[in-house]
Structure 1
Amino acid sequence: MTYDFRDKVILVTGGAGGIGSALCHRFAAGGARLVVVDIDEARAGRTAGELPGSGHVGLGCDLLERAGVELMLDGVAATHGRIDVLVNNVGMTSSERFDARSVESIEREIDLNLVSPLVTTRLAIPLLRASADPRVITTVSLGGIFPLGETPVYTASKFGLRGAMLAIGLDLRSKGIQAGSVLPSATDTRMLRQEAVEGGNSMQFQDAPQQPSDVVRAAVSLLDKPRLEAYVRPGESRLVRCALLAPNLLPRLFPLFRKRGERGMARYLEDLRRRGLARQVGGRWELVEEA
């Protein structure tokens, strides 16, 4: 069955980012009306203004501020009266190692990646119930299955988010709301580029990063065929799930993949250089800000 986007009200958090904006463009192309939510109100407005069709709006909202989320949803209620699809797409990571990070940065990353999608989903329940066919899609990560040594806080948040959304999907299904998650691996977005120039987790670069359009296809597949999880690269998902059957072997397995990952990261950085997105200054990599 192919999902009918026409006249659907779809709210996307992190909607001005690489994956978020790609999702918004795909949904709008199908005839949906998008509510693009991003902490950067100007970027949210620009993204909404670039979408095909009409009826789109860009809203600035800090999802860590409950009062702001409530105010944002009140505005959606006044304008649309419902949400047909809620897409929890906001996320962040940091290349700072755990033993050097501030406690405040740990709390912020957990709150944004794990707590804010749960709070947003809970507060949106009345608007979802007003839809004839309510859906929730959450962007998780293969980092929600496989531990990433360099980014343990991101791993913790995504492990928690995956578990929470599996449970929420089971709970809400009997109440008429279909909820599922997309689990992408490394995706060519600004977040990954920043991590690469900062020398982040090389394990992500076993293969070339996928594109936001790949994640979009997985998300659309959840709408076409509702289920608890969809994997962008099924082969990768099987590999990481098998690896977790014997977690005590991970310290032996990691060195086998480390060199390949480091070579993959080097190739990715060179690709960013060719595309004019990164450069080396004094032997250090840095991003070139896009216009």
Structure 2
Amino acid sequence: MSSGIQNKVVVITGASSGLGAETARHLAKAGAHVVLGARRIERLETLARELRLNPEAIQKTDVTDRSQVKSLVERAVTLHGRVDVLLNNAGLMPSSMLDKLKVDEWDRMIDVNIKGVLYGIAAVLPHMQKQMSGQIINVSSVAGHKVGPGGSVYAGTKWAVRAISEGLRQEVKPWNIRTTIVSPGAVATELISTITDSDIAAGMAKTYERAIPPSSFARVVEFAISQPEDVDINEVLFRPTSQVY
């Protein structure tokens, strides 16, 4: 696998909108072969037409279902013979104060934000070990570095992503596999639309008034992938210049 983006096979979860869709655009333009998964297949179909992808390069994927994540990765291998990069991008952020007892939302965040990442790792690791190369990019958050009121469970999931990623980094050295954590601050996505706690939603909306575009995230991912094989960009934390926390 050569350095750069050209001809790399990149699997992206949560690719139907926001960070995932924009990253797919950037990487496809740079010459990557993208294979896209998300729950909203209609949006994936629209994106595939925009990018002129093979219709087989998209697949309906719920990352809480291990078999679906494995099937997405197998689709990439069937189409291209390998998988060079996995971007574990799917995530939810229904933040709330703990005393609101939104336990169903806690469960959903744990299933998507933690288990979804683990299922992605489980799906690609055997292929990357066989290839003796690859890169796994996991999406954490500024909330994976700082915890605030209303963000306890979401932050917990993102701290978990960082811990899992660091353990993975140390374990995969014998196979020349690279690992990257991307921790964005306020980037314009649909994440805040998942917040059902009205007080938290109002505060988050104010924070996101100066959100930067998803292209900022896509450029970070592109930078990490494009490095030579002997360079492993392990973590990038970035925020809008105006963001204090």
TM range (shorter): 0.7 to 0.9
Identity of aligned residues (%): 23
Do structure 1's residue 92 and structure 2's residue 92 form an aligned pair? yes
**Alpha carbons of structure 1 residues 53 and 206: separation in structure 2 relative to 1, 3 Å:** closer
Match of 1:254 in 2: none
The counterpart of 1:211, out of the listed 203, 210, 213, is: 213
Looking at structure 2, the residues matched to 38 and 54 of structure 1 have their Cα atoms a distance apart, in angstroms, of 16
* Aligned mates of 2:41, 2:216 — CA distance in 1: 26
Paired residue type of 2:207: F
* Cα distance change, pair 96–83 in 1 and its aligned pair in 2 (3 A): same
Q: How does 1:69-88 map to 2 (within 5 A)?
A: 69-88=69-88
Structure 1, unaligned runs of 5 or more: 241-291
- From 225, 229, 233, the equivalent of 2:235 is 229
Sort the Cα spacing of 1:142 and 1:180 in 2 relative to 1 into closer, same or farther, 3 A: same
Measure how far apart 1:96 and its partner are: 3.8
Number of matched pairs: 238
Q: Distance between the aligned counterparts of 2:3 and 2:209, measured in 1? A: 31
Aligned mates of 2:30, 2:56 — CA distance in 1: 13
How many Å separate the matches in 1 of 2:125 and 2:90?
18
- C-alpha distance 231-207 of structure 1, shift in aligned 2 (>3 A): farther
Q: CA RMSD in A?
A: 2.8
Give the TM-score normalised by structure 1.
Answer: 0.73
5-14 or 42-51, larger mean C-alpha shift: 42-51
Counterpart code for 1:208 = R
Structure with the greater relative contact order (CA < 8 A, sep ≥ 6): 1 or 2? 2
SS at match of 1:231: strand
Q: Which residue pairs with 1:253 in the alignment?
A: none
> Structure 2 regions of 5+ residues with no counterpart?
none
Q: What are the within-5 Å matches in structure 2 for residues 25-44 of structure 1?
A: 25-44=25-44
Q: Partners in 2 of 1:156 and 1:195 — Cα distance?
A: 16
Shift in Å at residue 208 of structure 1? 1.7
CA apart distance, 1:54:
5.9
Correspondence 1:96-245 to 2 at 5 A: 96-131=96-131, 133-193=133-193, 195=195, 198-200=198-200, 202=203, 205=207, 208-225=210-227, 226-233=232-239
Number of the residue aligned with 1:68: 68
Shift of 1:216: 1.3
Alignment partner, residue 286 of structure 1: none
Structure number, greater radius of gyration:
1
Q: Which amino acid aligns with 2:216?
A: D
TM-score, length basis structure 2: 0.85
1:74 CA drift (Å): 2.8
What is the distance in 1 between the residues matched to 2:189 and 2:239?
17
Offset of residue 215 of structure 1:
1.1
Evaluate the alpha carbon distance shift between residue 194 and residue 113 of structure 1 in structure 2; reply closer, same or farther with a 3 A threshold: closer
Which shifted more, 134-143 or 42-51?
42-51
